[in-house]
Structure 1
Amino acid sequence: MNLKSKNPFLNNKSFSATSARRSDQVHNATIIDYNQEMTVSGTINKTFILFLLLIASAMVVWWMAFNGTNPIVPAIAGAIIGLILVVAAAFKPQYSGYLAPGYALFEGLFIGGISAIFEVRYPGIVIQAVGATFVTFGVCLALYRFKIVKVTEQFKSIVVAATLAIATYYLISWLFSMFTSFQPVHYDNSLMSIGISIFVIIIAALNLFLDFDRIDKGAEQKMPKYMEWFGAMGLMVTLVWLYIEFLRLLSKLSSKD
């Protein structure tokens, strides 16, 4: 079984289809404009832009929350619209230049709202989660760049399988909790729940390696420039997931004190 990246923005189907179209253009063109090709540096720049947009909108909701506004409304709205933009970009990566900034802005509403809620309950938790996310990102990037961790097909298969298992578990647990009195084990602060959170964080971190690899491959295959937005958006999706999981883990640890 040949499993690929779980991340909808960095899956091989989208990149392969785009690469095929790009290949046809290269063979049929007399002059090639290399400024219109995807590069790693260009993807990094766009990731930084998306990060700034996300932080800006998150700070707005954060400020509103600590000035008496209920943050749950913008958080839910941001999560729903962000998900819609994720799906749209997965099917239409050529529009990523518009969809990616929109995703960052709306996802920032979600991050800002959720962060404010956690901060009220567990003061200081947000800065800890942010720090943990950045440290994890930095470590994973260093391990990838120095080729300490190599992204092989077997590595991809294991990470994708684990990610799909987590997504399935979360979905089933959510459905059961919505329509029954069932309380998922990962909702409490038991040792098993903490163990689950640690496992999910590890898998989220491993997804970063798949993201790095796919961005590198996209640049090597000389994909169109808009794929920089596509790759940057996919990386942001993983970072948001990682941050939320750190919030969950730290809240469980704090509630045990």
Structure 2
Amino acid sequence: MALGGNPIFNGKNFRGATQAPPVPQAPYGAPYGQASYGQQPYGQQPYGQQPYGQQPYAQQGWGTQPQSMTDEQLRQMYSQPSAGPADTGRMTFDDVIMKTAACLAAVIAGAAVTLVVAPGLASMLMIVGALGGFVLALVNTFKKQPSPALILAYAALEGLFLGGLTRILDGMFPGVGLQAVVGTLSVFAVTLLLFKSGKVRATPKAMRFFMIAIIGYAVFSLVNMVMMWTGVLQQPFGMRSIEIFGIPLGVFIGLLAIGLAAFSLIMDFTSIEEGVRNGAPQRFSWTAAFGLTVTLVWLYVEIIRLLAILRGDD
């Protein structure tokens, strides 16, 4: 997600490129080459050191080839390729891909647990995963330095939640789990292709609309959850089950949420691209992987819920 847009990336020093220290300037009015007070003038050395251009006794002069290196060794040394981002400890796209794959593997492992255990235990693990994942999401979001252990733990807990949710909805509407997986991968692939083609970008205007829409969606979801927990609404999906012109409100809300999640992926890709271009430290590839995992989990939940609402309306 773009810097300044998603709180996951706020406060993270993605601009990790360092600059050379400034050149010391002579005091105003001093002759060129004269240093500031307490420093030796240019061209003069402190007592006991050799002046510029003169070599101490028994030392080699400028341009003299070291006796320990042959001409062939020198040629090999200067013919070596320059150090790349990975060699200098900077974030690369490969780093982000590998760490995102590790997070998704943790999600799949957590989901596999709740899919194979007894139904009662699966429901308990689903609640543990939902609450624990929410807590670790907040911790990782506001933590200044990324923690690989906490990020992988978050992914595993979200896997427990997704596995339990999939087991419940797939039991009610067989096939929605596989359809949700295919839908999530399809949205991710299409969004990535649109981003790479340059046709979709996280512009400031689009980000303002996104923030307004996401706040409105969060308020709706919170009110809907409270009304379901207090028993005000008895429908399986709360206000989402209310029909407007014969179409459940959840269909419109679900399509909006999927669109917001897709744009959130665009913001993720933008932040990753900026981080690589600005030479962010390699450790922040974990932050990028965490942001992608959060968005993919959100996207999957919205898709499987939309499919369940559509199937329940049949």
Shift of 1:134: 0.3
Residue 239 of structure 2 is aligned with which of 177, 185, 206? 185
- State the number of aligned residues: 244
Residue 11 of structure 2 is aligned with which of 14, 29, 53? 14
- Give the structure with the higher percent helix: 1
Give the TM-score normalised by structure 2. 0.72
Question: Which deviates the most, 32-41 or 134-143?
Answer: 32-41
Query: Percent identity of the aligned residues?
Result: 30
Maintained 8 Å contact 1:188/1:252: no
Residue 51 of structure 1 is aligned with which of 95, 104, 118? 104
Alignment of 1:1-257 (within 5 A): 4-6=4-6, 8-10=7-9, 13-15=10-12, 18-19=13-14, 22-23=16-17, 27=20, 34-65=87-118, 68-179=119-230, 181-182=232-233, 184-188=238-242, 190-257=247-314
- Higher Cα Rg: structure 1 or 2? 2
Gaps of 5+ in 1: none
Residue 239 of structure 2 aligns to which amino acid in structure 1? V
Secondary structure, aligned partner of 1:223: coil
Secondary structure, aligned partner of 1:148: coil
Output one character per residue of 1:15-51: Cα deviation in whole Å (capped at 9) or x when no partner: 3xx146x45x6546xxx98542112221111101111
Residue 284 of structure 2 aligns to which amino acid in structure 1? M
Aligned-pair RMSD on alpha carbons? 2.3
* Larger RCO: 1 or 2 (CA < 8 Å, sep 6+): 1
Output one character per residue of 1:108-153: Cα deviation in whole Å (capped at 9) or x when no partner: 1111111111111111110000000000000000000111112211
Output one character per residue of 1:137-185: Cα deviation in whole Å (capped at 9) or x when no partner: 0000000011111221112111222112111211122223334614642
Secondary structure, aligned partner of 1:226: helix
Gaps of 5+ in 2: 22-84
